[in-house]
Amino acid sequence: MSFVERRSNPLAWAAFWFALAGLVLMPIPLFIGLILGGGLSIVAAILAAIALFKGLARSGKGIAPVVFAAIFISLTWGGISLGGGIIW
């Protein structure tokens, strides 16, 4: 019985897509973007932290989506701190 090593990190991809959705939804005004984009961004940050530790345990496999997720998360939080989702 042969096992094939999985090369991707599913949690990293989940963090990537949640972070991207948070970034896209963040500019919606009247606190909708703050709730949707901010909430998805928080979930993405938790998933990215878990995926980072799992990727490092596998000698760095699947780290690229975590890096992009971290960039999207920081852009979302930066946009929210400048008023995105509230007054835009």
Q: Where are the domains of the chain?
A: 10-81
70 or 84, greater pLDDT = 70
- pLDDT at 6 > cutoff 70: no
Amino acid present at 48: A
Res 83 pLDDT > 90? no
Residue 3 pLDDT grade (very low, low, confident, very high; cuts 50, 70, 90): low
Residue 6 corresponds to which tokens in the numbers above?
């999985």
Gap between the Cα atoms of 53 and 40, Å rounded: 20
Q: Residue 47 above 80 pLDDT? A: yes
pTM of the full structure = 0.86
Average pLDDT over every residue of 71-80 = 95
Where are the extended beta strands (E) located within 1-88? none
